[in-house]
Amino acid sequence: MSAEAALREQMCLLARSLFERGLTHGSTGNISARTPDGGLLVSPTGTSFGRLDPARLSHFASDGQLLDGDPPTKEMPLHTAFYETRSTAGAVVHLHSCHSVALSMVSDVDPDNFLPPLTPYGIMKLGRVKLLPFFLPGDPKMGAAVRGLAGKRSAVMLANHGPVVAGKDVEAACNAIEELEDTARLAMMTRGLNPRTLTDAEQEAVISKFDVEWDI
């Protein structure tokens, strides 16, 4: 099996796992990954994470030309914005996961640091998550908003919509977006209970120990 064929299979396997565990639903969510030759594989528009076909993934050349496969997701501006601004991005995942969307609707969250410091893992895998305003699905302004971050964030939360995470490869991106959703779930579960969060010193220790990219 070629490297590209293996990547196609991995993308569909991970997407199906996310779907089967309820992290996205119906035909929501999209996923993309860099191919070994610098091209891009992208989930097609209107498809379900539970039923992606490796042979029908949208396949782009390194110059952005669609080579084969079905038409890509309408959220392509989000994906291309991450690839264009983050040299380390090898994959991008976007979900409509319930707890993170619910947290984005809460009025007192910090838009510059969306996730509360409840565990070290959200910090380790995501750094600071930027809460972006609401955009219509498919609006190119979402890509412009990501570009405006100048590559300083690996994850953003689209208000009333869902999270988007870039990782070094497709497995890392999926692991990170799961951590985002789990941290949001903890935040919603403990809301109003005055939970103990990591202190500033503890957060700084995590950032230093694990060499976390932390945009000040």
Share of the chain above pLDDT 70, in %: 99
Catalytic one among 4, 121, 204, 213?
Answer: 121
* Model confidence band, residue 214 (pLDDT cutoffs 50, 70, 90): confident
Domain 3-209, CATH: 3.40.225.10
Active site residue 75: yes
Amino acid 1: pLDDT: 80
Confidence of residue 216 (pLDDT cuts 50, 70, 90): low
Placement of tokens 């302004």 in the chain:
141
Per-domain residue ranges of the chain: 3-209
**Given a cut of 80, is residue 215 above it in pLDDT?**
no
Q: pLDDT over 90 for what percent of the chain?
A: 97
Mean pLDDT for the stretch of residues 49-78: 96
Q: Exposed/middle/buried for 215, CB within 10 Å: 0-12, 13-18, 19+? A: middle
> Does 58 have pLDDT greater than 60?
yes
Compute the C-alpha angle 176/206/90, nearest 5°. 30
Write down the pLDDT at residue 26.
Answer: 95
Look-up: residue for tokens 């396949």?
59
**pTM for this model (two decimals):** 0.96
Name the average pLDDT for the chain.
Answer: 96
pLDDT digits (tens, 9 = 90+) for 71-119: 999 999 999 999 999 999 999 999 999 999 999 999 999 999 999 999 9
The catalytic position among 75, 178, 179, 181 is 75
93 CA to centre of own chain = 4
CA distances from 97 to 54, 71, 216 (A): 23, 24, 27
Is 179 among the residues known to form the active site? no
